[in-house]
């Protein structure tokens, strides 16, 4: 785990800290920020000085931060409001495609990325409402399937609209309405190139500062900025009236409605705000890679973000960010490193000697989702609150959950308790790993009480 | 017109296969209220096992793929494959769902997603990253001809139907008319009360997973032979179609799952033929979303209405 901590961001797990020690928190925050800012500058020297350690390169950190933004966004929908969304990648795709449409040669429109960013956010948020509005009444697992289907539809539509012909039937004259073979979205080939974000100020970097994968270090600072904004917005949202309304709905929708919460607008706001952050991530990714392809926005990405949230601690902001860096680091640096240095060659030799083609071609990274799948199952059984849960979430899962069983009190009554505790124990130490884990109660609606 | 009839035949054949998988979703959902994400991947393993069975018969035993003996032996492998997938499905329940029996609903669902990825990667290990062609043991002789001489349906479709229809009928009989089936229905209605009435709930749930897995295995064999290939991502492709079918028929409803399968199969075949194959998934998923929005209990009513 040490490597993971080195991969920066503001959020150390903090095993021995005094809980109310605000100063300590600030010191740690400062260290993490300093590490995050300095790491790309010292990365080369570090990896030269200490070889045989899988140091993440800056491009990996950029991906980590992008997924941290995605995870924070999904955390609003899943962690705060308790709505399981398996098609979150759709909004990521919408954000990225909005950027591609408005800042590339594809339609010949070239709007500055700094404006496109907000248009992408708006587009994602609008689609969030479009998906959310009709599905509000659905219970948890049906919602999961609908969102999954929506994610697939968005990917397929972006792929298929690369070559589209719409014509009236021959009886009605057969006039071609769209096409023939119109290319609206780039299809399988995608859209390439996309204008990267540019600051037209000369400096040591040349005439203008370009934030693309040609200049990874600058991009890292940009995405770090986006992540910081996202993080603080999420934090303010969590502590706001709206945030408390989300959590009340998550715990018991009926009770929340009885307390005067407008469940319809509250849930819609969760969908649209959650989606808007993936618009952030999408706009950045498209411009950073200066190209997008429909196939990058597959179901696996949605699942990866879900795994990040579950692993980091559902509902916990710092947990989600640590989870994103940890998981993407494992995926992009550690697994390839272990594969290249430890496992692939012996497997290859074994394959050659036994004549098994699959072993000969063995690449550990091919099976990364095997590992993620096992992690999901084990986490659900052993530690459903995640590795770095919020103090409040922990209180809900352990203390209040048990209290509800013992006293027979309704969860809604106890949620209030949970929130009081959350305020007091804002930064509790890591929970005892051996503590009996009550799973998170993230079900929605009256069926939770079934 | 001929096009329409041909598409309809393909639709019905595919629809019954989809129904066979959908029944697994519906059985498990009825009893645990869990969308078993891993179910379609169990089906995918069924196609993989069929691939290995035909390899063994044709390559290992040297029986020519086009011979009747090869087909006969492959069909003999059906019960073995069904047992294997049934065992896998029941083990998944034991490992990944039973410990979460009393957890909030999100927990087993995520556990199921995890198992789905595990199985998908097992498939990847077994089959490799690309489609694998299955030995052509299924004869493709066309049987009925239109007046114009074009083919309508063939022996392959008859064999597929002669596997799927008896299985669907047998399942209906089992759940509807046997003591064990009654226990399953009782557990689906009220797990706690059934336990109090002396029904071994854990055993009944295991049995449900065994049956669902067996059906998925049979569907796997049929798909591997009828499509002539297997692929580690078949789970995702067929899973969404079948789940749509289960929802259309009203989840928890066995007849509904079959009818839903037929509906999805026919819609997909029509879309393949008259629109474009690449839009078929979009159409089916849109159908799923529309049904869930306007009739969340499915086109047929749900059997246990209090679950709606």
- Report strand pairing: B132-133 vs B229-230: antiparallel
CB pairs under 8 A between A and B: 140
Q: How far is CA A391 from CA A216, A315, A381, A422, in A?
A: 36, 10, 20, 6
Residue A119 counted as domain residue: yes
Q: Do B292 and A303 touch (CB under 8 A)?
A: no
B233 to chain A nearest CA, in Å?
12
B122 contacts: CB under 8 Å, gap ≥ 6: A370, B45
A357 to chain B: nearest residue by CA?
A: B128
Residue A84 counted as domain residue: yes
- CB-based contact, A370 to chain B, within 8 Å: yes
Q: Which residues pair with A104 in a beta bridge?
A: A109, A194
Q: How far is CA A331 from CA A14, A56, A322, A371, in A?
A: 24, 11, 14, 10
Quick one: CA dihedral A204, A56, A279, A110, positive or negative?
Answer: positive
Which of A133, A138, A149 would you mutate first to test chain B, the one with the most B CBs within 10 A?
A149
- CB-based contact, A29 to chain B, within 8 Å: no
Residue of A257, A251, A266, A201 whose CA lies nearest to A393: A251
Here the tokens at position B214 are 């067996």
- CB-based contact, B289 to chain A, within 8 Å: yes
Smallest Cβ distance to B105: which of A141, A146, A310?
Answer: A141
Q: pLDDT band at B255, cuts 50/70/90?
A: confident
Q: How many CB atoms lie within 10 A of CB B231?
A: 22
Residue A361 counted as domain residue: no
Smallest Cβ distance to B35: which of A144, A153, A372?
Answer: A144
Residue A59 counted as domain residue: yes
**Which stretch of DSSP H or E encloses residue A351?**
helix A344-354
Placement of tokens 């609209």 in the chain: A161
- Report how many domains make up chain A: 1
Q: Do A137 and B105 touch (CB under 8 A)?
A: no
Residue B277 counted as domain residue: yes
Q: What is the pLDDT of residues B119-167, one digit of tens each?
A: 999 999 888 888 889 888 888 777 777 777 777 778 888 888 888 999 9
Q: How many CB atoms lie within 10 A of CB B143?
A: 12
Q: Is A9 left (phi over 0), alpha (psi -120 to 50) or beta?
A: left
Q: Is A117 left (phi over 0), alpha (psi -120 to 50) or beta?
A: alpha
- CB-based contact, B236 to chain A, within 8 Å: yes
* ipTM for this prediction: 0.85
B191 to chain A: nearest residue by CA?
A: A450
Which of A74, A376, A402 would you mutate first to test chain B, the one with the most B CBs within 10 A?
A376
State the average pLDDT over residues B79-91: 95
Smallest Cβ distance to B110: which of A135, A137, A380?
Answer: A380
Q: pLDDT band at B266, cuts 50/70/90?
A: very high
Q: Do B117 and A156 touch (CB under 8 A)?
A: no
**DSSP label of A259:** T
Predicted local distance difference test score (pLDDT) of residue B139? 82
Virtual CA dihedral for B97, B99, B100, B101, nearest 10 degrees? 80
- Report how many domains make up chain B: 1
Quick one: CA dihedral A154, A160, A166, A171, positive or negative?
Answer: negative
- Judge whether A308 and A69 are in contact, CB under 8 Å: no
The parent domain of residue A240 ranges over 2-15+23-311
Residue B140 counted as domain residue: no
Q: Which residues pair with B197 in a beta bridge?
A: none
Residue B117 counted as domain residue: yes
Q: Chain A residues with CB inside 8 Å of B274's CB?
A: none
Here the tokens at position B289 are 């979303």
* DSSP string of B143-196, one letter each residue: --B-TTS-B--BHHHHHHHHHHHHHHHHHHHHHHHSHHHHHHHHHHH-HHHHHH
B166 to chain A nearest CA, in Å?
30
Q: Do B125 and A358 touch (CB under 8 A)?
A: yes
Rounded Cα–Cα distance for residues A206 and B263 (Å):
62
* DSSP string of B211-247, one letter each residue: HHHHHHHHHHHHHHHHHSEE-TTHHHHHHHHHHHHHH
Q: Chain A residues with CB inside 8 Å of B276's CB?
A: 160
Q: Chain B residues with CB inside 8 Å of A373's CB?
A: 113-118, 120-121
Predicted local distance difference test score (pLDDT) of residue A20? 60
Residue A281 counted as domain residue: yes
A45 contacts: CB under 8 Å, gap ≥ 6: none
Q: Residue A127: CA atoms inside 13 Å, Cβ hemisphere, count?
A: 26
- CB-based contact, A145 to chain B, within 8 Å: yes
Q: Chain B residues with CB inside 8 Å of A372's CB?
A: 114, 117
Q: Chain B residues with CB inside 8 Å of A144's CB?
A: 35, 109
Quick one: CA dihedral B54, B60, B64, B70, positive or negative?
Answer: negative
Rounded Cα–Cα distance for residues A401 and A448 (Å):
13
Pure H helices in A76-139? 89-102, 113-135
| A265 CA to centre of own chain | 23
Q: Do A369 and B117 touch (CB under 8 A)?
A: yes
Residue B192 counted as domain residue: yes
Q: Do B109 and A140 touch (CB under 8 A)?
A: yes
- CB-based contact, A369 to chain B, within 8 Å: yes
The parent domain of residue B243 ranges over 2-132+150-307
Q: Chain B residues with CB inside 8 Å of A146's CB?
A: 288-289, 292-293
Q: Chain A residues with CB inside 8 Å of B128's CB?
A: 357-358, 361
What's the angle, vertex CA A272, arms to CA A270 and CA A278, rounded to 5? Answer: 105
Rounded Cα–Cα distance for residues B235 and B41 (Å):
4
Placement of tokens 């370009």 in the chain: A210
Q: Do B33 and A441 touch (CB under 8 A)?
A: no
- CB-based contact, B100 to chain A, within 8 Å: yes
- CB-based contact, B277 to chain A, within 8 Å: no
Residues within 8 A of A (CB atoms), B 57-76 only: none
State the average pLDDT over residues B46-57: 93
Instruction: Look at B247 and B41; give whichever has higher pLDDT.
Output: B41
Helix axes A411-424, A241-251, angle to 10 degrees: 140
How does pLDDT run along chain A (450 residues), one tens digit per residue? 444 444 455 555 555 445 566 788 788 888 888 888 888 888 888 888 887 788 888 889 999 999 999 999 999 999 899 888 889 999 999 999 999 999 888 888 888 899 999 999 999 999 999 888 888 778 767 888 889 889 999 999 999 888 777 777 667 666 777 767 777 888 888 888 888 888 888 777 777 888 888 888 889 999 999 999 999 999 999 999 999 999 999 888 889 999 999 988 999 999 999 999 999 899 999 999 988 988 889 888 998 899 899 888 888 898 999 999 999 998 888 888 888 888 888 888 888 888 777 777 778 888 888 888 998 899 888 888 888 877 655 555 554 444 444 444 444 444 444 444 444 444 444 444 444 444 444 444 344 333
Burial per residue of A96-107, b for 16 or more beta-carbon CB atoms within 10 angstroms, e otherwise: bbbbbbbbbebe
- Would you give the end-to-end CA distance of chain A in angstroms? 40
Smallest Cβ distance to B282: which of A135, A153, A303?
Answer: A153
Residue of A418, A119, A397, A92 whose CA lies nearest to A274: A92
Which of A299, A393, A439, A444 would you mutate first to test chain B, the one with the most B CBs within 10 A?
A439
Residue of A442, A398, A444, A447 whose CA lies nearest to A79: A442
CATH number at residue B250: 1.10.3470
Residue A430 counted as domain residue: no
Residue B141 counted as domain residue: no
**DSSP label of A410:** -
B141 to chain A nearest CA, in Å?
35
Predicted local distance difference test score (pLDDT) of residue A38? 86
- Judge whether A321 and A231 are in contact, CB under 8 Å: yes
- CB-based contact, A84 to chain B, within 8 Å: yes
Rounded Cα–Cα distance for residues B8 and B15 (Å):
10
Quick one: CA dihedral B112, A386, A448, A256, positive or negative?
Answer: negative
A257 contacts: CB under 8 Å, gap ≥ 6: A263
* DSSP string of B90-105, one letter each residue: HHHIIIIIGGGTTS-T
| A172 CA to centre of own chain | 48
Q: Chain A residues with CB inside 8 Å of B118's CB?
A: 370, 373-374, 377
Predicted local distance difference test score (pLDDT) of residue B87? 96
Q: Which residues pair with A110 in a beta bridge?
A: A103
Residue of B297, B299, B265 whose CA lies nearest to B284: B265
């Amino acid at each position: 785990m040490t490597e993971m901590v080195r991969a920066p961001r503001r959020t150390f797990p903090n095993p021995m800290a005094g809980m109310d020690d605000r100063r300590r928190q600030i010191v740690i925050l400062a260290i993490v920020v300093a590490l995050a800012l300095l790491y790309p500058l010292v990365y080369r020297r570090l990896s030269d000085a200490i070889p045989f350690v899988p140091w993440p390169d800056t491009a990996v950190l950029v991906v980590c931060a992008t997924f941290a933004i995605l995870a924070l966004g999904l955390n609003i929908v899943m962690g705060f409001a308790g709505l399981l969304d398996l098609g979150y990648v759709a909004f990521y795709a919408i954000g990225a495609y909005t950027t591609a449409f408005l800042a590339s040669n594809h339609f010949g429109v070239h709007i500055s990325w700094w404006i496109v960013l907000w248009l992408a956010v708006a587009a994602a948020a609008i689609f969030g409402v479009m998906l959310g509005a009709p599905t509000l009444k659905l219970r948890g697992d049906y919602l999961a399937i609908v969102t999954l289907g929506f994610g697939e539809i968005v990917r397929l539509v972006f792929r298929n609209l690369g070559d589209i012909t719409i014509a009236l039937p021959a009886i009605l004259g057969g006039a071609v309405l769209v096409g023939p073979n119109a290319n609206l979205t780039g299809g399988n080939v995608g859209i390439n190139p996309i204008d990267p974000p540019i600051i037209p100020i000369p400096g040591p970097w040349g005439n203008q500062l370009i934030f693309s994968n040609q200049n990874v270090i600058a991009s890292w600072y940009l995405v770090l900025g986006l992540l910081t904004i996202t993080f603080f917005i999420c934090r303010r949202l969590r502590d706001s009236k709206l945030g408390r309304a989300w959590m009340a709905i998550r715990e018991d929708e009926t009770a929340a409605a009885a307390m005067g919460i407008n469940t319809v607008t509250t849930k819609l706001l969760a969908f649209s705000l959650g989606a808007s952050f993936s618009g952030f991530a999408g706009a950045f990714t498209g411009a950073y890679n200066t190209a997008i392809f429909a196939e990058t926005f597959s179901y696996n990405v949605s699942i990866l973000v879900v795994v990040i949230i579950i692993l980091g601690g559902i509902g916990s902001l710092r947990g989600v960010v640590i989870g994103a860096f940890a998981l993407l680091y494992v995926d992009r640096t550690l697994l390839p490193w272990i594969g290249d240095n430890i496992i692939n060659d012996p497997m290859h030799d074994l394959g050659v000697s036994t004549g098994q083609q699959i072993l000969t071609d063995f690449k550990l990274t091919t099976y990364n989702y095997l590992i993620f799948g096992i992690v999901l199952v084990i986490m659900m059984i052993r530690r459903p609150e995640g590795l770095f849960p919020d103090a409040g979430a922990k209180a809900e899962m352990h203390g209040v959950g048990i209290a509800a069983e013992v006293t027979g009190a309704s969860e809604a009554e106890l949620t209030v308790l949970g929130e009081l505790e959350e305020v007091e124990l804002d930064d509790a130490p890591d929970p005892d790993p051996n503590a009996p884990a009550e799973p998170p109660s993230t079900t929605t609606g009256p069926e939770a009480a079934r | 017109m001929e096009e329409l009839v041909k598409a309809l035949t393909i639709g019905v054949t595919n629809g019954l296969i989809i129904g066979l998988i959908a029944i697994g979703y519906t059985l498990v959902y009825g009893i645990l209220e869990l969308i078993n994400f891993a179910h379609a991947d169990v089906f995918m393993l069924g196609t993989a096992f069929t691939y290995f069975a035909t390899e063994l018969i044709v390559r290992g035993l040297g029986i020519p793929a086009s011979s009747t003996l090869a087909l006969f032996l492959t069909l003999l492998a059906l019960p073995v494959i069904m047992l294997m997938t049934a065992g896998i499905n029941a083990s998944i329940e034991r490992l990944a769902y039973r410990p979460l029996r009393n957890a909030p609903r999100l927990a087993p669902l995520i556990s199921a997603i995890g198992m789905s990825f595990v199985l998908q990667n097992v498939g990847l290990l077994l089959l490799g990253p690309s489609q694998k062609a299955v030995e052509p043991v299924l004869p493709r002789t066309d049987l009925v001809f239109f007046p114009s001489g074009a083919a309508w349906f063939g022996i392959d479709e008859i064999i597929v139907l002669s596997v799927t229809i008896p299985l669907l009928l047998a399942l209906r009989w089992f759940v509807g008319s046997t003591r064990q089936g009654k226990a399953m229905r009782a557990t689906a209605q009220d797990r706690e009360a059934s336990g109090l009435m002396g029904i071994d709930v854990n055993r009944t749930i295991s049995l449900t997973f065994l049956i669902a897995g067996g059906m998925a295995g049979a569907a796997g064999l049929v798909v591997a032979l009828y499509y002539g290939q297997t692929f580690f991502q078949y789970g995702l492709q067929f899973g969404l179609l079948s789940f749509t079918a289960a929802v259309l028929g009203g989840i928890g409803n066995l007849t509904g799952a079959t009818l839903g399968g037929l509906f999805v199969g026919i819609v997909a075949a029509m879309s393949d033929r008259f629109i474009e194959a690449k839009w078929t998934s979009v159409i089916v998923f849109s159908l799923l979303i529309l049904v869930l929005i306007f009739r969340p209990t499915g086109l047929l009513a749900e059997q246990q209405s209090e679950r709606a």
